[in-house]
Amino acid sequence: MSGIGIIGSGVAGLHLGLLLRQHDVPVTIYSEKSAEQLAGGRLPNSVAHHNTTVLRERALGVEHWDLQEYGYFCHHHYLGGPHPLRFPGSFEAPSRAIDYRIYLPKLLEDYQERGGEFQVRPIQAADILPLSEKHDLVVVGTGKGSMGAMFPRIAAKSPYDAPQRKLCVGLYHGIVRSEPRGVTMSVSPGHGELLEIPMYSFEGHVTALLFENVPGGDLEVLANARYDEDPAAFEKLVLEKTQQHHPTVFERIDPARFRLTRPEDLLQGAVVPTVREDYVRLPNGRYTIAVGDVHTVVDPVIGQGANSASYSAWELGHAIVEDPNFDERFCRKVARRRRDRVHSISDWTNLMIQTPPPPHLLELFGAMAENPAIADEFTNNFNFPERQWDILATPERARKFLARHGR
Amino acid sequence: MSGIGIIGSGVAGLHLGLLLRQHDVPVTIYSEKSAEQLAGGRLPNSVAHHNTTVLRERALGVEHWDLQEYGYFCHHHYLGGPHPLRFPGSFEAPSRAIDYRIYLPKLLEDYQERGGEFQVRPIQAADILPLSEKHDLVVVGTGKGSMGAMFPRIAAKSPYDAPQRKLCVGLYHGIVRSEPRGVTMSVSPGHGELLEIPMYSFEGHVTALLFENVPGGDLEVLANARYDEDPAAFEKLVLEKTQQHHPTVFERIDPARFRLTRPEDLLQGAVVPTVREDYVRLPNGRYTIAVGDVHTVVDPVIGQGANSASYSAWELGHAIVEDPNFDERFCRKVARRRRDRVHSISDWTNLMIQTPPPPHLLELFGAMAENPAIADEFTNNFNFPERQWDILATPERARKFLARHGR
Supply the DSSP string of B135-178, one letter for each residue: SSEEEE---TTTTGGGS-B-GGG---SS-SSEEEEEEEESBPPP
Task: Return the pLDDT at B296.
Answer: 96
CB B91 within 8 A of CB B51: yes
- What span, in angstroms and rounded, lies between the C-alpha atoms of B2 and A297? 42
Contact A327 B390 (CB under 8 A): no
Q: Which of A320, A390, A399, A400 to mutate to test the interface with B (most CBs of B within 10 A)?
A: A390
Which pLDDT score, from 0 to 100, does residue B407 have? 83
pLDDT of residue B105: 98
Q: Which residues contact B113 (CB under 8 A, 6 or more apart)?
A: none
Give Rg (Cα) of chain A. 21
CA nearest to B323 within chain A: A390
What is the reported pLDDT for A132?
97
A20 alpha-carbon distance from chain centroid: 23
Q: How many CB atoms lie within 10 A of CB A117?
A: 17
Quick check: A324 and B400 CB within 8 A? yes
Of B329, B336, B397, the CB nearest to A336: B336
Does residue B108 contact residue B17 with C-beta atoms inside 8 Å?
A: no
Cβ <8 Å between A340 and B336: yes
The alpha-carbon gap from B152 to the nearest alpha carbon of chain A, in Å, equals: 22
Instruction: Tell which B residues from 388 to 407 touch A, by Cβ distance under 8 Å.
Output: 389-390, 393-394, 396-397, 400
* Phi-psi category of residue B21: left, alpha or beta, with phi > 0 → left and psi -120 to 50 → alpha: alpha
Q: B348 to chain A, minimum CA–CA distance in Å?
A: 13
**Contact between residue A291 and residue A268 where contact means Cβ atoms under 8 Å apart:** no
Three-state secondary structure readout of chain A: CCCEEEECCCHHHHHHHHHHHHCCCCEEEEECCCHHHHHCCCCCCCCCECHHHHHHHHHHCCCCCCHHHHEEEEEEEEECCCCCEEEEEEEEEEEECECHHHHHHHHHHHHHHCCCEEEECCCCHHHHHHHHHHCCEEEECCCCCCCHHHCCECHHHCCCCCCCCEEEEEEEECECCCCCCEEEEEEECCCEEEEEEEEEECCEEEEEEEEEECCCCCCCHHHHCCCCCCHHHHHHHHHHHHHHHCHHHHCCECCCCCEECCCCCEEEECCCCEEECCEEECCCCCEEEECHHHCEECCHHHCCHHHHHHHHHHHHHHHHHHCCCCCHHHHHHHHHHHHHHHHHHHHHHHHHCCCCCCHHHHHHHHHHHHCHHHHHHHHHHHHCHHHHHHHHCCHHHHHHHHHHCCC
A336 vs B: CB within 8 A: yes
Q: Are B323 and A390 a contacting pair at CB < 8 A?
A: yes
What are the φ/ψ torsions at residue A189 (nearest 5 degrees)? -55, 130
Looking at residue A277, its amino acid is E
Cβ distance of B329 and A400 shorter than 8 Å: no
According to DSSP, the β-strands at B287-290 and B137-140 are parallel
Rounded to the nearest angstrom, the gap between the alpha carbon of residue B166 and the centroid of all alpha carbons in its chain is 16
Q: How far apart are CA B276 and CA B140, in angstroms?
A: 12
Chain B: residue whose CA lies nearest to A330 = B390
In chain B, which residue's Cα lies nearest the Cα of A335? B336
Residues of B in contact with A340 (CB under 8 A): 333, 336
Cα A62 from chain centroid?
19
Interchain proximity B325–A400, CB inside 8 Å: yes
A326 touches chain B (CB under 8 A): no
CB contact under 8 A, A325 and B396: yes
Q: Is A323 on the interface with B (CB under 8 A)?
A: yes
Buried b (16+ CB within 10 A) or exposed e, A225-259: bebeeeeeebbebbbebbeebbebbbeebeeeebb
ipTM of the complex: 0.90
- Residue B354, min C-alpha distance to chain A (Å): 20
Which of B323, B400, B404 is the best substitution to test chain A (most A C-beta atoms within 10 A)? B323
Contact A23, A276 (CB under 8 A): no
B390:A325 CB<8 A: yes
What single-letter DSSP state applies at residue B255? T
| Domains present along chain B, CATH in parentheses | 4-42+100-160+273-352 (3.50.50.60), 166-269 (3.30.9.40), 359-404 (no CATH)
Q: In degrees, to the nearest 5, what angle opens at C-alpha B260 toward C-alphas B85 and B80?
A: 10
Yes or no, beta carbons of B396 and A339 under 8 Å apart:
no
**What is the least distance, in Å, from the CA of A207 to any CA of chain B?**
38
Contact A394 B324 (CB under 8 A): no
Minimum distance, in Å, between the CA of residue A294 and any CA atom of chain B: 23
Nearest to A336 among B323, B340, B390 (CB): B340
User: What pLDDT score does A1 carry?
Assistant: 56
CA distance A27 to chain B (A): 20
For residues B346 and B338, give the distance between their C-alpha atoms in angstroms, rounded to a whole number. Answer: 12
Comparing CB atoms, the residue among A327, A329, A340 nearest residue B333 is A340
Chain A positions in Cβ-Cβ contact with residue B333 (cut-off 8 Å): 340
The arrangement of strands across the sheet holding A4-7 comes to A117-120, A27-31, A4-7, A137-140, A287-290, A279-281
Query: SS3 sequence, A144-161?
Result: CCCCHHHCCECHHHCCCC
Partners of A397 on chain B (C-beta within 8 Å) are 325, 327, 329
Please name the member of B325, B327, B394 whose beta carbon is closest to the beta carbon of A327.
Answer: B394
pLDDT of residue A317: 98
CB pairs under 8 A between A and B: 41
Task: Please say if the pLDDT value at position B67 is more than 60.
Answer: yes
Give CA torsion, residues B309, B311, B316, B322, to 10 deg: 160
Cβ neighbours of residue B384 closer than 8 Å, sequence gap 6 or more: B52
The residues near B155 (Cβ < 8 Å, ≥ 6 apart) are none
Q: Do A324 and B390 touch (CB under 8 A)?
A: no
Residues in chain B within 8 Å Cβ distance of A396: 325, 327
Q: Do the beta carbons of residue B220 and residue B166 sit within 8 Å?
A: yes
Nearest CA in chain B to A387: B323
Backbone angles phi, psi at B342, to 5 degrees: -65, -45
- pLDDT at site B160: 97
Using CA atoms, how far residue A157 sits from A127, A307, A324, A349, B8, in Å, is 28, 19, 29, 12, 37
pLDDT per residue as tens digits for the range A353-371: 999 999 999 999 999 999 9
Quick check: A70 and A96 in contact, CB under 8 A?
yes
Contact present, A184 and A78 (Cβ < 8 Å): yes
The whole-angstrom distance between B382's CA and the closest CA on chain A is: 18
* Phi–psi pair at A87, nearest 5 degrees: -160, 150
Q: Chain B residue closest to A338 (CA)? A: B336
CA angle B17, B22, B25 (to 5 degrees): 65
pLDDT at B29: 98
> pLDDT digit string (tens) for B238-289?
999 999 999 999 999 999 999 999 999 999 999 999 999 999 999 999 999 9
Residues 6 or more apart whose CB falls under 8 angstroms from that of B389 comprise A329, B344, B347, B348
Closest CA in chain A for residue B397: A325
Cα torsion through B112, B117, B122, B127, rounded to 10: -150
How many CB atoms are located within 10 Å of the residue A223 CB? 20
pLDDT beyond 60 at B1:
no
- pLDDT tens digits, one per residue of B40-52: 999 999 999 999 9
Write phi, then psi, for A288 (nearest 5 degrees).
-130, 145
Residues of B in contact with A323 (CB under 8 A): 390
Which of helix, strand or coil describes residue B182?
strand
**Which of B325, B334, B391 best probes binding to A when mutated, by most A CB atoms within 10 angstroms?**
B325
CB B231 within 8 A of CB B263: yes
Q: How far apart are alpha carbons A383 and A381 in whole angstroms? A: 5
Q: Which residues of chain A have pLDDT under 50?
A: none
Q: Which residues of B touch A390 (CB under 8 A)?
A: 323, 325, 329
> A24 CB near a chain B CB, below 8 Å?
no
Q: Between A333, A336, A396, which is nearest B325 by CB?
A: A396
Chain A residues within an 8 Å CB radius of B393: 325, 327, 329
Q: Report whether the peptide linkage leading into residue B359 is cis, meaning its omega lies within 30 degrees of zero.
A: no
Residue B136, chain A, CB below 8 Å: the answer is no
Q: What is the pLDDT of residues B195-233, one digit of tens each?
A: 999 999 999 999 999 999 999 999 999 999 999 999 999
The pLDDT value given to residue B145: 74
Give the residue-averaged pLDDT of B130-154.
92
Task: Give A332 to chain B, closest Cα distance, Å.
Answer: 10
Question: What pTM was computed for the model?
Answer: 0.93
Q: What pLDDT, on a 0 to 100 scale, did the predictor assign at position B147? A: 86
Q: A394: which chain B residues are within 8 Å (Cβ-Cβ)?
A: 325, 327, 329
Distance CA B15, CA A118 (A): 52
On average, the pLDDT of chain B sits at: 97
